[in-house]
């Protein structure tokens, strides 16, 4: 590494957003290491929107909220439904309407993800060699 690239690297490390990005990186690394299903940002945004915002939620409404097309929501919903994190339910009053609802498994997933964000779900086996952890 030459002096120019070393000073460039030091400047990048001292940028204002780096502490927040390091925390987010730590959260994502812990999440990846957990072995839980990898969700795209769209899938995660859909999950959080359904779980945090009051419903009822429809594909059309979620597409408008996230500023994406209905097919994008449908694809994400297919994956999240297959994982058991969200569920489609017909409106009993008007069978043409389908609502997107929460599931206990989805709530458990987000509770666990919250621990990654809080930094309390760190791998407790850090003193174990990587070869043993993957065995």
Residues 6+ apart with CB under 8 A from 27: 116, 117, 119
Rounded CA gap, 87 and 95, in Å?
16
Burial code (b: 16+ CB inside 10 Å, e: under 16) for 40-64 equals eeebbbbbebbbeeeeebbbebbbe
pLDDT confidence tier of residue 66, bands split at 50, 70 and 90: very high
Residue of higher predicted confidence among 36 and 123: 36
pLDDT at 122 over 80: no
Residue of higher predicted confidence among 106 and 119: 106
Supply the pTM of this predicted model: 0.72
Residue-wise pLDDT for 83-102, tens only, equals: 999 999 998 888 888 999 99
pLDDT confidence tier of residue 62, bands split at 50, 70 and 90: very high
Residue of higher predicted confidence among 114 and 50: 50
Residue-wise pLDDT for 5-50, tens only, equals: 555 555 566 777 888 888 888 888 888 888 888 899 999 999 999 9
């Amino acid at each position: 590494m030459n002096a120019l690239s070393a000073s460039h690297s030091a400047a990048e490390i001292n940028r204002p957003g780096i502490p927040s990005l390091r925390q987010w990186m730590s959260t994502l690394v812990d999440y990846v290491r957990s072995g839980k299903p990898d969700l795209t940002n769209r899938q995660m945004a859909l999950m959080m929107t359904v779980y945090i915002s009051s419903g009822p939620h429809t594909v059309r409404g979620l597409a408008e909220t996230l500023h994406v097309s209905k097919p994008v929501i449908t694809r994400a919903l297919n994956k999240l439904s297959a994982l058991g994190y969200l569920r489609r339910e017909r409106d009993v009053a008007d069978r043409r309407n389908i609502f997107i609802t929460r599931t206990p498994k989805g709530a458990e997933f987000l509770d666990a993800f919250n621990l990654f964000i809080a930094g309390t779900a760190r791998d407790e086996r850090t003193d174990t060699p990587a070869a043993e952890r993957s065995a």
